[in-house]
Amino acid sequence: MSEKPKQQRPSMQFFYGQHASEPDPEMMPREGIDNSVLAGLATLDRAGVTAGVGERNRVMFCEPGDTGMSLLHLWFKSNYVLPFHSHNVDCLYYVIGGELHIGSRVIRTGDGFFVPAGQAYGYEAGPDGVEVLEFRNATRFNLLFGANDEARWQRIADAYTERALIWAEETVPPSERGS
């Protein structure tokens, strides 16, 4: 059996925030869109939820090709609610501003958590929002919806209805606010 030649990687790579971009659908395709997810998305549609309102996702770094490291910067505004979901790769999260609530835990600036591939999770941004860095040893990974009942979808819709106008006024992420 012959070994595959290792891909040559640069010894060091630099990235700059000003060059960050939104993730493209090929980087993180949505999967698991079954009837329950369609019903949940219909709930969001009836509430007038617009994709991207209350959140900002930026790709800070992504190695070229199908393998390698990626780093995303996510900002979820005050009391934003994420649906339960999983990914097909491990993910390490580090909070750089604000706080998030995951189950009964509060994860604050300087804290983080690890989610193994296939583990469903969801969280809510705290009252000042939350900024997280997502580290993955993958350049492509899925977003698989799961474990969202009607009440969870309604909670997401209610947060949007109550906060969309407030989110529009939130223009400075937690990490850039004065203490």
Q: Would 96 be classed as within a structural domain? A: yes
Establish if 38 belongs to a structural domain: yes
In the chain, % of residues over pLDDT 90: 81
80, 112, 154 from 101: Cα distances, Å? 10, 11, 18
Domain count, the chain: 1
- 163 occurs within a structural domain: yes
Q: Does some domain include residue 22?
A: no
Is the residue at 179 inside a domain? no
Instruction: For residues 98 and 131, give the distance between their C-alpha atoms in angstroms, rounded to a whole number.
Output: 6
Q: Is 97 helix (H, G, I), strand (E, B) or coil?
A: strand
For position 144, which CATH number holds?
Answer: 2.60.120.10
Tell me the per-residue pLDDT of 23-69, one tens digit each, with 9 for 90 and over: 988 899 998 888 989 999 999 999 999 988 999 999 999 998 888 99
Cα 87 to Cα 89: distance, rounded to the nearest angstrom: 5
In a domain? residue 10: no
| Residue 158 maps to a domain | yes
pLDDT value of position 8: 72
* Domain boundaries, position 132: 31-170
pLDDT of the residue at 81: 97
What mean pLDDT, rounded, does the chain reach?
93
Within a domain: 120? yes
